[in-house]
Structure 1
Amino acid sequence: MNKTRIDSQKNELIHEHAIDSILSNSQMSYYIECYHDKYIEEPSMYGLIFKHEIDNNLDVSFIISTTGKFTNQKLSEADSYYVYHKTNMTSYYKIYGFKD
């Protein structure tokens, strides 16, 4: 199937959760901020991602190491940046990757 998709100039199908794909680089450290609503400008939680798990319903849980909140200057130096929004939730996560 993927050969047909490539021939049609489409992306390959992968059987991996997006978060697994994002956090798969072991040469990176990831800082995460959790926001409960798009109208709230301050994160409710933040820290370095220590571990993440995906349950049978494909919901993601993060275990974070508490740190001080990174400054906007530090966040602008990130090597990668992602926004992850859980399905059927108003909360979302900003994930910043930093090369070790």
Structure 2
Amino acid sequence: MVLGLIGQWWRLGHAESSGAIADGDGFRAFNRPGYAKGTLSFLLDEAGEGRIRLVTETRVVATSEDARRAFMRYWLVIRLGSGLIRRLMLAGIRARATRHP
């Protein structure tokens, strides 16, 4: 599963709308300068002995050099918190998946 988001996360409540994006093709085609496009993916991977590993990955690409610099400054500030949220999310998924009925 892949989730996509277009934004100006570094603008903290003052972001301009990217407009409606109807589908994956629209997401891939979006190139208005000043934005970043992010994806969060989840992949189920065989781990042997009846086990499944959940792998998650985030990718971000900026639509202009100014947006790339702004996103990098933003990422320096939120990076540790983002990693913590990801670990908590995965731990919650694991707990639900391994809970006995």
TM-score of the two chains, using structure 1 as the length reference: 0.22
Higher relative contact order (Cα pairs below 8 Å, separated by 6+ residues): 1
More strand by share: 1
TM-score of the two chains, using structure 2 as the length reference: 0.22
Max Rg structure? 2
More helix by share: 2
